[in-house]
Structures are given as C-alpha cells and as structure tokens.
Amino acid sequence: MSREIFSFFQKMYWLFFRKCDIIDINEQSIKFLLKMTILIDCVSNNDKEGAVFVAENGKIKSGEKRPPIGSWPLKLRQVPISSPSFNGCELVIAADCAAFAHGSFAEFTRGRTLVIGCTKFDGIDYTEKLTRIFSRNAVGSVHVVRMEAPCCGGLVMTVRRAIELSGKEIPMEVSVISTDGRVNR
C-alpha cells in the first residue's frame, strides 16, 4: 500500500475522531470508528486484500483476529474516574497521534486498558483526573506511549505527577515513537 493511501486513511480517521467530541456517540459512529481502525491496521500492515474486504463488507475476514477495544470511551477527558476496566489493569495512556505513527500500535494495547489524550490540544491539565483515577482504582501498571515531539513530554510529566499525588507506587514505562514509526523504550 502506498504512503499516500495510508495518509488518506489517517486523515479520515483523525477527522472522524475529532468529530466524536461534537456528535453523539451512537452505535453507527462506533461501528464506523472500528471499521476505520481495521482499515488503517490493514493498510499499515500492507494487507491490501484485507483492507478491500473490510471496505466492501464492513467486517473482518472470517478467521482474522483483531484486538477488541477493551473500554469505551477512550478519550481521557471522557473516561469516568471509576471504572471496572481500571481495576487490576495494565493501563496504556497514549498520545492521540501515537497510533497513527506506529503501524502496529495494537502491540501496546492487547490485553490492556487504553486511554488517549493530548496535553497540548485538549486544553486540559489531566493531573487531577489521573490522580483520582489512580487513587480510586487498583491500576497495576501504566505504560505511556508518546511521540518524540516536545509537546508529548507534558503527557509523561502529567502521568508521573498524578502517580506521585495518588500516593500509590504504580510502575510506569514510557515508549517514544519517532515520526518514522520507530519505538524507543
């Protein structure tokens, strides 16, 4: 699959994702979001046949395994402070743009609870919310997935501060994704 087609899918997904903050989340929009996620995954893995099948049929080919979304909503500003999905979980806190820069982003999320946010463009200081999440739930570990862009450093600092303020000792790992998709841990 060409870089142009992948870029096109990224832009479509991002446009839809931004609209999620404006429109009501309903079954149809969730199905569309999942379909776009699968399409991007197929394109990023050079699975042209899989991408065409998903686009034409709206579902995954029989026998294929794609990781399910473990919790909803994903946006940190929309996530409830107490949730069964946080108890005993390995929590992945990812920058909004990280999934688009790394073709196999699902490797970070399999079997884990995912929340996403952007400390620069969301216009919210997430320290208090994350502190409350860590304080009220039995989060087992935190994995921050950020971009190499300087603005993503704020996400790491916010998570570290929230863990500290929660009074809990929660192990934290950070992965940095470069603009060309490489992962540095």
- Which residue type does 23 have? I
Residue, of 15 and 21, whose pLDDT is higher: 15
In this model, does residue 115 exceed pLDDT 50? yes
Give the rounded distance of the alpha carbon of 177 from its chain centre.
13
Mean pLDDT of the chain: 75
Angle between helices 3-19 and 27-44 (to 10 degrees): 160
- What average pLDDT does the segment 92-118 reach? 87
Place of tokens 């794609």: 66
In terms of pTM, does the model score above 0.85? no
Higher confidence at residue 177 or residue 52? 177
- 62: tokens are 């029989």
Across the range 124-142, mean pLDDT stands at 95
How many percent of the chain have pLDDT more than 90? Answer: 32
Here the tokens at position 70 are 């473990």
**183-184 and 113-117 beta bridge pairing:** unpaired
Structural contact between residues 6 and 13, judged by C-beta atoms closer than 8 angstroms: no
Range among 73-87, 93-107, 119-133 with highest mean pLDDT value: 119-133
Q: What was the pLDDT predicted at 20?
A: 47
In DSSP terms, which residues pair with 176 in a beta bridge?
Answer: 146, 184
Paired tokens of 185: 């841990």
Question: Residue 158 pLDDT > 60, yes or no?
Answer: yes
* Total length of the chain: 185
| Between 15 and 179, residue with greater pLDDT | 179
| pLDDT exceeds 80 at position 66 | no
Query: Closest Cα partner for 65 from 94, 38, 28, 27?
Result: 38
